[in-house]
Amino acid sequence: MMQKKKQTSTNRKRRMVSNKPSGDYFSQTKTKPDYKEVLVLRRFISDRGKILPQKYTGLTAKNQRMLSIEVKKARYMGLLQYTDRHAI
């Protein structure tokens, strides 16, 4: 009995498809996250009120940390909602 060898195709081109933005928003605009800019902060918050992770926002690690601090400040001051059920 002869066993057939599996052929592995090395010709296949893999396509990288991502929903990640092309660059860091704060680096492009040359600004820093600020708790008073609620409209900018809402770009990085999900429908349920959670802060989006870095792989979806496309921010650098430093800006992601600063963003989370500023979102928490805005929530504490009542400028942003904590969850989707606490609409302002």
pLDDT tens sequence across 24-78? 899 999 999 999 999 999 999 999 999 999 999 999 999 999 999 999 999 999 9
CATH of domain 25-76: 4.10.640.10
Q: Are 84 and 49 in contact (CB under 8 A)?
A: yes
Kindly tell me if the per-residue pLDDT of 11 is higher than 70: no
Q: End-to-end CA distance of the chain: give it in Å, rounded.
A: 74
Question: Does the global pTM surpass 0.75?
Answer: no
| HSE of 58, CA atoms in CB hemisphere, 13 A | 12
